[in-house]
Every structure is written in C-alpha cells, then in structure tokens.
Structure 1
Amino acid sequence: MDMSGEQVPVRLVYRITTADIAQALRARDARVPAGRRRRMLTTGFGVLLLGFGGLASMGEGSPAKPLLIAGAGVLMLVLTLFGPQLTARAFAGLLAKAGETTAVVDAAGLQVSTADTQTRINWAAQPLYTETADTFVTLSVAKRAVAMTILPKRGAGDPADVDRLRAVLDRNLQRL
C-alpha cells in the first residue's frame, strides 16, 4: 500500500519456461479434485494392467499378449509420472515466440502482456491459487477445462514483491 492506503500493483517481468509449466501442472493436478482423480485413475489402471500382464505371462501360450498388457501398464505409469514434463515440452515453441511476459497484479485482477497479446483476467475468472517453490498459479474452477496463469517468483523486481503478491492473492483468491 502507498501512503494514501491504496494498493500498489505488483509488477512481474519474466519468460515462462517449460519447467514453470511442468511445475504448475503438477501443482494443479495435486490440488484440484479433477487432477487428483485423473492421477489416481491412471496410476490404478497402470498398476492393474501391469498386474494382469504379469499374471497372464505365467500361463501357457504366447507371451506377446501379456507383454503388451504389461507394457500398456508401464506406459500408463510413465505418463502419470512424466505427463507434466511432456505437456510442458509441447509448449516450447510457443514459449519462444511469446518472449518476455509482463504481469501486473492489482485489486481487480491480473493483466498479462507478451509481445503479441494482452489479457485481463478478473479474479472471478480464476478464483483459486496455489503456491509452489518457484511460482504462484491462479486457477479457474471449470470442470472441463482448467485455465491457469503462471506467475514465476523470479519475475519480481524485489524479494518484498513476492510477499506483496502473496498478500494480494490471499485477499482476492482462495488458496489451495
């Protein structure tokens, strides 16, 4: 707040990295019910397929089908573990084109600008947030498509800005 009691916007300048996206996706999946369900189901299904493949390989006959079933189980488990990194890597080209990002966070919401775009996100559009070691991630509550905005802490000009940003988010959003 400044001397008049008005909130001073927090300004971040950064380049989003694939590591930021992977960390945000992992945080979203861990804290949003749909993400937890999906992770639980894919892990459970992968373990079941691995088990069925192992049991089927003990019987008589060709080992091709049991190996295929077990391989599908392994694939499910690998995708559960490394899915966020693979998804983040898919965005590498777009991240390079976006270049530097500027985010201004104030009492009304977020304004995010890149070389080609400018977006205003009101708090009602993404009413949730979570904090990771390196980022703040704002999230929507839509069941089918979860929108998120990644705010890397390294974008703060001053370490005190990270605390100010956390305070603005705490005032306006529900922390997960």
Structure 2
Amino acid sequence: MDMQGEQQVEVRLVYQITVADVAQAVRVRDSRLPAGRRRRWLLCGFGGVLVCFGGLAAFGPGTGSGPLATLIGGVLILALTLFGPQLTARAFAGLLAKAGETTALVTATGLQVSTKDTDTRIGWAAQPFYAETADTFVTLSIAKRAAAMTILPKRGAADPADIDRLRALLDQNLQRI
C-alpha cells in the first residue's frame, strides 16, 4: 500500500528469452518504428531494382558475369530483408542461453529486469513506446543512434490476469505503437 491507501500495481514475469522471442521483437521494431520501416523499404526497393536490372541484362545479348552478379546481389538483399530478423535473433542464441532465466518486475515507475549475471532498471522515459504481439510485449525507444527494446513474453506471467494488469501498466505509462 502506498501513502494514499492505494495498492501499488506490479507484475512479475519469469521466463527465458528464446530466439523466437528476439526474432518477433526485431520484426516488431522494424515494422513499427519509422527507422525500421524506412530501412526495410529502402532495402526492398534497392534489391528489387538490382533484380530487375540484373535480370534484364543477364538475359539480353552479349551478357557477361556483371549482370548475373547484379541479379544475385539483388536476390540476396531481398532475402536478407525477409530473413534478417531471424538471422539477427540467431546471432544472440549464445547470449540468451548464458543469460538463463529472466525475472522482470514491472511497476508504475518502470521495469527491473534481472538475470543471473545482470540487474537492469529501465525508467519509462528510456523506452517510451510499446507494441503487443500474440506472444509478447516489447518496449521500445526510438533514439536516432540506437534502438533499445525489452522483451516481455506473456508466458512469463504466473496468472492470466497478470497479462491484463501488465497491459494496463504499459498503457498508463507508454505510448502503444
């Protein structure tokens, strides 16, 4: 109870972050933040242009290896754009395994995330946005130089009512995107 007689709302989640959680969070970040959308559109556009020019040149008269390389480069850029979130998440697999079980305490003042080796306090101002997916809540910053995010898997809730309380806390303190 706080000094005004109101009960302090907090939600505790206990979970282990998976590669799938990270991939989902990266997809959310890339689709809902302006920089992510811009990067994805630019890569898709550039890859598409390379595929078109490379394809037209590769099947035209007097072709060499240049047009084929352009075509292959365009296909690779498009593939990386499509599979980039999964590849990024897989790069973190070793760190995720090392971190082990994570405990997140979400209160009116922010997040406290603890693993066996770390204890991090994140105020609401540091990550002022959040997105909800079927499996997770992802808090996000949109700083120009770095995009920070915290992944809160719904499976970490001890009680299904905790998910509604968590959503209410996030709605109170962050902007949903």
Q: Residue type matched to 2:34 in 1? A: P
Write the letter of the residue equivalent to 2:132: E
2:134 corresponding residue in structure 1: 133
User: What is the CA–CA distance in structure 2 between the aligned matches of 1:51 and 1:152, rounded to whole Å?
Assistant: 41
Instruction: State the match for 2:47 in structure 1.
Output: 46
Task: Find the aligned partners of 1:131 and 1:59 in 2 and give their Cα distance.
Answer: 48
Name the residue aligned to 2:108.
107
TM-score (norm 1): 0.96
- Give the paired residue count: 175
Task: Report the AA paired with residue 83 of structure 1.
Answer: G
Residue 15 of structure 1 corresponds to 16
Whichever residue aligns with residue 57 of structure 1, its letter is A
Structure-2 residue corresponding to 1:120: 121
Q: Shift in Å at residue 55 of structure 1? A: 1.3
Q: Tell me how far apart the structure 2 counterparts of residues 60 and 48 of structure 1 sit (CA, whole Å).
A: 20
Distance 2:115 2:140 in 1: 20
Q: Kindly state the Cα deviation for residue 94 of structure 1 after the two structures are TM-superposed.
A: 0.3
SS at 1:124's partner residue? Answer: helix
CA drift of 1:124 comes to 0.4
Q: Which amino acid aligns with 1:131?
A: E
RMSD in angstroms over aligned alpha carbons? 1.3
Aligned pairs (5 A) from 1:1-176: 4-176=5-177
Identity %: 73
Q: What's the offset of the Cα at 1:63?
A: 3.5
Where 2:117 maps in the other structure, the secondary structure is coil
Residue 97 of structure 1: SS of its match in structure 2? Answer: helix
1:141 shift after superposition: 2.1
Cα offset, 1:7, TM superposition: 2.6
Summarize deviations over 1:105-151 as a string: whole Å, max 9, x none: 00000000000000000000000000011000000120121000000
Which amino acid in structure 1 is aligned with residue 174 of structure 2?
Answer: L
Long gaps (5+) in structure 2: none
Structure 1 gaps of 5+ residues are none
Displacement of 1:60 in angstroms is 2.7
Tell me how far 1:58 sits from its aligned partner. 3.0
> 2:46, 2:8 → 1: CA distance?
49
